[in-house]
A and B are shown apart, each in its own frame.
Chain A
Amino acid sequence: MASQTRPPRRSYTTHRNQQLGPPGDGGCYHAGAQANDIADNVYGDPVIVGTYALCDTQHFRPSGGFAGFVLSGGGEFEIDQPGSAVTHGILRINAVNGHYIMVGSYGKNPHAFVTKFGGRIYDLNKRISSGSGWNLTNANDVNSIGEIVGTGTYEGQVHGFLLKP
């Protein structure tokens, strides 16, 4: 399922220590939200990514889910929606590079993903050699040449990885 982006809902301006919340419709402001990264070399219109906790809207308490957000061009975009068949309402965006390529993790059994702003979410496990023995669970960062670092399991143990395009 493709990632879903929403049209800008709320404008924001930046100044010293400007708060960017509260996030999304289903967001639990009190349950935690944070900006994780800012794209390099994008002056004047920062592209900021992060994660916020989702709410059980009936009881207004944390649902255990997370969603990613992107702040860009004066608007806020949610990456994937709670209840998605792909993410099961759990998606974290950890980093973005200057080409708007973003990485993070999604799902109850976490999968590392890569996506480009406005594009599909790709499971990084399907972008490495099949039969490699790796299960990539989280992508922490992506640099300007598209190299990605994160963690996964290999031979039953947690390993760090570096992916090269």
Chain B
Amino acid sequence: MIVARRRQEGLGLVYMSSYVRFFGTLLLLTVLSACGGSYAFRNVLAESSQHKPSIPPIGTNTIPLQYSIVDLGPNVFPERVSNTGTVVGYILNSGNTTMAFAYNGSMYQLGTLSGDVESIAYGVNSQGEIVGESDSGPPNYTTIMAVQFSLTGSPVPLGILPNNTWSKAWAVSDSGEIVGASYAIFWGPPGAEMTIFDGMGGTTDAGQGEPYEIDDYGFAVGADTPYGFPDTTTAPFVYYPP
């Protein structure tokens, strides 16, 4: 309430200031035009436009008073939205299985690897590259594979670290780096080994941890299990690129 009252007071000052400027300008123009010529009129307009406050792009650095809402549909669970507005996540189907989706004004179901029944899209970048997982579904999840999705084709497997059984791709940066984790003991922490995918099946072990996001400079953040299985302690971590 205090903020709202202050805002109203602020608006009052703006309005008052506008009136003062308007009538002041009118008086000035009247005097100047009485002195002859429209040159002064153009100058006043030019000066006025020079002092206009620059308007930041809508929504970039302020929290708007009002958002418009787009309904993505029932049982839709968005995970991420790219800087170009593509939304990815999963749809929960009636059989309690998940299907990866992407929305860019139209809704796309992204499919699974052959033989799998589930998929989830976890990450998307500004180029529309989408990553996530495809799996065999509950209750056993005998296969979970990191994949890259496309809107029109089939998912492509991204690989698993040697001596591991499962993998997930959690994020892709605008510069195209894909990060996720491989798991030997159990899917999810504990037992996650951070994995960098080259997009063609190649994998690099980047140390212990499960990264959930990566920025354009290659910094990744997520959860780590510092004491290892079976201890379930998790701690936040940051991966600093070499």
Give residues in A with beta carbon < 8 Å to B: 14-23, 29-30, 32-43, 46, 48, 50, 52, 69, 99, 101, 114-116, 119-120, 122, 124, 127-129, 132, 134, 140-151, 154, 157-165
The residue in chain B whose Cβ has the minimal distance to the Cβ of A146 is: B59
A-B contact count (CB 8 A): 211
Q: 16 A-B residue contacts at CB 8 Å?
A: A18-B237, A21-B236, A29-B233, A30-B231, A34-B222, A34-B236, A46-B219, A48-B221, A116-B63, A124-B67, A127-B66, A128-B68, A158-B75, A160-B87, A160-B89, A164-B59
CB pair B67 A127 closer than 8 Å: yes
CB pair B222 A35 closer than 8 Å: yes
Q: A35-B221, A144-B60, A149-B81 are in contact. Are A17 and B67 (CB under 8 A)?
A: no
Contacts of A132 in B (CB 8 A): 69
Contacts of B76 in A (CB 8 A): 151, 159-160
Task: Give the distance in Å from the alpha carbon of A162 to the alpha carbon of B70 in the complex.
Answer: 5
Task: Give the distance in Å from the alpha carbon of A151 to the alpha carbon of B69 in the complex.
Answer: 11
Q: How far is the CB of A123 from chain B (nearest CB, A)?
A: 12
Q: Does B65 contact A (CB under 8 A)?
A: yes
Contacts of B82 in A (CB 8 A): 143
Q: Does B71 contact A (CB under 8 A)?
A: yes
Interface residues of B in 114-153 (CB under 8 A from A): none
Contacts of B64 in A (CB 8 A): 127, 146, 165
Interface residues of B in 54-113 (CB under 8 A from A): 57-83, 85, 87, 89, 103
Q: A19-B226, A134-B69, A146-B60 are in contact. Are A38 and B236 (CB under 8 A)?
A: no
Of A23, A35, A40, A148, most buried by chain B (CB within 10 Å of CB) is A35
Interface residues of B in 203-222 (CB under 8 A from A): 206-209, 212-217, 219-222
The residue in chain B whose Cβ has the minimal distance to the Cβ of A100 is: B61
Give residues in B with beta carbon < 8 Å to A: 3, 57-83, 85, 87, 89, 103, 174, 194, 206-209, 212-217, 219-224, 226, 231-240, 242
The residue in chain A whose Cβ has the minimal distance to the Cβ of B174 is: A40
CB pair B72 A160 closer than 8 Å: yes
Contacts of A14 in B (CB 8 A): 219, 238, 240
Task: Give the distance in Å from the alpha carbon of A36 to the alpha carbon of B57 in the complex.
Answer: 26
CB pair A19 B60 closer than 8 Å: no
Task: Give the distance in Å from the alpha carbon of A146 to the alpha carbon of B58 in the complex.
Answer: 8
CB pair B85 A147 closer than 8 Å: yes
Task: Give the distance in Å from the alpha carbon of A129 to the alpha carbon of B69 in the complex.
Answer: 9
CB pair B87 A34 closer than 8 Å: no
The residue in chain B whose Cβ has the minimal distance to the Cβ of A155 is: B74
Q: How far is the CB of A29 from chain B (nearest CB, A)?
A: 6
CB pair A162 B69 closer than 8 Å: yes
Contacts of B221 in A (CB 8 A): 35-38, 46, 48, 50
Q: A145-B83, A160-B89 are in contact. Are A41 and B216 (CB under 8 A)?
A: yes
CB pair A38 B238 closer than 8 Å: yes
Sample of 18 further A-B pairs with CB below 8 A, known A148-B67, A165-B58, A165-B59: A16-B207, A17-B206, A17-B209, A17-B240, A32-B223, A32-B234, A35-B212, A37-B212, A38-B213, A115-B63, A128-B67, A143-B82, A145-B58, A149-B72, A157-B74, A160-B77, A161-B71, A163-B68
